[in-house]
Amino acid sequence: MNKEVIAVELVRYECSTTQNDPLGKHKFDLSKLEVLETLDSNDFENFVNELIKIGGLSGKHKQFLNSPCGIGIRIVYDDNSFTLITITTISSNECIFLGEYNAGNEIGWTFGIAWQQMIDDFKALVNKHFTTQI
């Protein structure tokens, strides 16, 4: 089943629990999510197409975190499920988190790695499409 993107948001998710226990899988708390900016719907397709070109799922990288924290994007689908991607610093390492959540805000799968090239590519993409720079 293909899901339709209904929103792409620049967000901040602050979670001290993730900072204190980055490898723990912490319950997602929607009240901690701040929407900073929303992408115009005319730009959804271009943004998502550029995002999927950023590498990262292949290869072996040390897992640094299992829960979101920091600034990033949330892609919301027509069934109210969403993908959350955040950038945060854990133990002096800049890390990128990616998580898939269902409509009940329950996490499906995640990865959180410190791969600087992927992080730089993600930041460049966000900065290209949003007024607020990260």
35-76 confidence digits (pLDDT tens): 999 999 999 999 999 999 887 555 566 777 888 999 999 999
pLDDT digits (tens, 9 = 90+) for 91-113: 888 999 999 999 999 988 888 88
pLDDT digits (tens, 9 = 90+) for 19-30: 778 777 888 999
Residue type, 5: V
User: Tokens 């990616």 — which residue?
Assistant: 98
pTM: 0.90
List the beta strands (DSSP E) in 43-81: 70-77
Q: Distance from CA of residue 75 to its chain's centroid?
A: 8
